[in-house]
Amino acid sequence: MKSIIIIGGGIIGLSAAYYLQKEGHQVTVIDQSNMDEGASYVNAGYLTPSHIIPLAAPGVIKQGIKWMFNPKSPLYLKPRLEMDFLKWVWAFNKSANKKHVERCIPVIRDINLLSRDLYQDIKQDEGFNFQYEKKGLLMLCQTDKMLEEENEVAHKAIEAGLPVKELSLEELYKMEPGVKMNVKGAVHYECDVHTTPGEFMSEIKSYLKQKGVIFNTNEKVEDIEVKKNEITAIKTNKQTLYADEYVLAAGSWSTLLGKKLGISIPLQAGKGYRINTEKNTGITVPAILAEAKVAVTPMHGFTRFAGTMEVAGINHTINKVRVDAIAQAANRYYPEIRIEQEEKDKAACGLRPVSPDGMPYIGRSAKCDNLTIATGHAMMGWSLGPATGKLVEEIIAGKKTSMPVDAFHPDRKF
């Protein structure tokens, strides 16, 4: 049995805590927040084997530059003369090529499928009640151009062995008869699952506390002591803590902590927003509004509309223009659904840690022998939580991992 400190109490940190305590380790989770907000709570709740294309794909930076001058655009890169940001943009652009995409597709598929099934295992093994519905995911398209693009991605998914169907309007309305849609057609990924994130987070926290996992909330790591390639202690704003092993799962803050260890973890915080409506929308199948890049999820008790990738540094400022853009997109695709001002006023945001190549960091850096890094999941953090947690446990134990992890190596070059 080892003593293990996990820095970060989001979905990645809690998933690691789950699998580590299962193996008998004494686990402590430290988080600078109260652990009731952020990306793990405001995401779309998707478990997405369908999302096989990494964020670093051809044309993304070019499109991002075009959208830079549109305050309502789905992707916004705030230009700033910061070395970390400039290096990240350079590395992202370098990674955004066809060869990189083709290399990543099977890896992203496999970790998503592993994680989707692990969610179900946790639900069954622990008797949890969180929403887990396998209705798939619709890509709703308003233009012929977008429908053509989505069909191309669908063909790649089919080649990768995923069950996907192109739907006519008639087939779409048979699947989703209770809501009027202003679209030309859709693609249906049958492999996807949706959840209500707050339910899972509540259940896993309660479970871990019952199992003896220690939670230090509202506690910020301020310094890390290292000797001979090993962390010997971490200092927070409240105390000094010691452990045999450490896990860095601090999301968008991981880069700052990595610097204290002399480890480069290139990341940018990608802010996303969500709006909830408790009105009966008639929506029963999750969907992505393809042109607007807005995710729609029928959760327990409400429908969630989530979207945007705002790369503008670490901040939690709510940009009302971007919230309005999500609400307007909902109405464009579902003309009978109108999001009220009161609902927009309750919008929340979260920061997703985005690596330059669209792949997470999972593994040990050569610069620190008793640290396992688990961050950089971007928009797939919720989807990849349990798989990442299981891989972290296997890496710490020196076991054969459930899947190859070379593509996630923290020391990879860009």
d(CA 294, CA 330): 8
Confidence of residue 80 (pLDDT cuts 50, 70, 90): confident
pLDDT for position 204:
98
pLDDT (tens digit per residue) in 223-260: 999 999 999 999 999 999 999 999 999 999 999 999 99
Phi/psi of residue 39, nearest 5 degrees: -60, -30
pLDDT (tens digit per residue) in 361-396: 999 999 999 999 999 999 999 999 999 999 999 999
d(CA 407, CA 409): 6
List the structure tokens of 28.
Answer: 């402590």
Angle formed at CA 99 by CA 95 and CA 101, multiple of 5 degrees = 70
pLDDT for position 72:
80
Nearest by Cα to 360 from 28, 3, 115? 115
pLDDT for position 34:
95
Amino acid identity at 173 = Y
Write the CB contacts of 102 (distance below 8 Å, at least 6 apart in sequence).
Answer: none
Identify whether 72 is part of a domain: yes
List the structure tokens of 187.
Answer: 């693609």
Identify whether 413 is part of a domain: no
Identify whether 358 is part of a domain: yes
Q: Looking at the predicted structure, is the pLDDT value of residue 197 above 90?
A: yes
Domain count, the chain: 1
Write the CB contacts of 191 (distance below 8 Å, at least 6 apart in sequence).
Answer: 49, 50, 113, 116, 136, 162, 163, 164
Nearest by Cα to 77 from 356, 377, 384? 356
Secondary structure (3-state) at 209: helix
Write down the mean pLDDT value for the chain. Answer: 95
Identify whether 272 is part of a domain: yes
β-strands 302-311, 294-299 pairing: antiparallel
Q: Are 248 and 9 in contact (CB under 8 A)?
A: no
Kindly report the number of other CB atoms within 10 A of residue 240's CB atom: 10
Confidence of residue 77 (pLDDT cuts 50, 70, 90): confident
Q: Looking at the predicted structure, is the pLDDT value of residue 173 above 90?
A: yes
pLDDT for position 62:
75
pLDDT for position 99:
94
Average pLDDT of span 165-186: 96
pLDDT (tens digit per residue) in 315-343: 999 999 999 999 999 999 999 999 999 99
Q: Are 288 and 326 in contact (CB under 8 A)?
A: no
Distances (CA, A) of 206 to 110, 126, 190, 213, 335: 29, 11, 32, 10, 40
pLDDT for position 60:
78
Average pLDDT of span 149-165: 95
Average pLDDT of span 64-75: 77
Confidence of residue 59 (pLDDT cuts 50, 70, 90): confident
Residue-number span of the structural domain to which 336 is assigned: 3-408
For residues 334-360, one letter each, b for 16 or more C-beta atoms within 10 angstroms of the residue's C-beta and e for the rest, the string is beebebeeebbeebbbbbbbbbbbbbb
Q: Looking at the predicted structure, is the pLDDT value of residue 65 above 90?
A: no
Identify whether 414 is part of a domain: no
List the structure tokens of 69.
Answer: 């001058």
Identify whether 263 is part of a domain: yes
Write the CB contacts of 170 (distance below 8 Å, at least 6 apart in sequence).
Answer: none
Q: Looking at the predicted structure, is the pLDDT value of residue 276 above 80?
A: yes
DSSP result, 15-67: HHHHHHHHTT-EEEEE-SS-SS-SHHHHS--EE-TT--S-SS-TTHHHHHHHH
pLDDT for position 67:
76
Confidence of residue 69 (pLDDT cuts 50, 70, 90): confident
Nearest by Cα to 189 from 59, 52, 67, 304? 52
For 28-32, 94-98, 159-163, 216-220, which range has the lowest pLDDT when averaged over its residues? Answer: 94-98
d(CA 144, CA 142): 7
pLDDT for position 162:
96
pLDDT (tens digit per residue) in 3-34: 999 999 999 999 999 999 999 999 999 999 99
Phi/psi of residue 268, nearest 5 degrees: -130, 145
d(CA 142, CA 128): 38
Identify whether 107 is part of a domain: yes
- Report the share of the chain in percent with pLDDT over 90: 91
Average pLDDT of span 145-168: 95
d(CA 159, CA 142): 25
Q: Looking at the predicted structure, is the pLDDT value of residue 408 above 90?
A: yes
Identify whether 404 is part of a domain: yes
Average pLDDT of span 72-82: 84
Confidence of residue 63 (pLDDT cuts 50, 70, 90): confident
d(CA 6, CA 236): 13
d(CA 144, CA 357): 29
Confidence of residue 116 (pLDDT cuts 50, 70, 90): very high
For residues 186-222, one letter each, b for 16 or more C-beta atoms within 10 angstroms of the residue's C-beta and e for the rest, the string is bbbbebbbbbbbbbbbebbbebbeeeebebbeebebe
CATH number at residue 41: 3.50.50.60
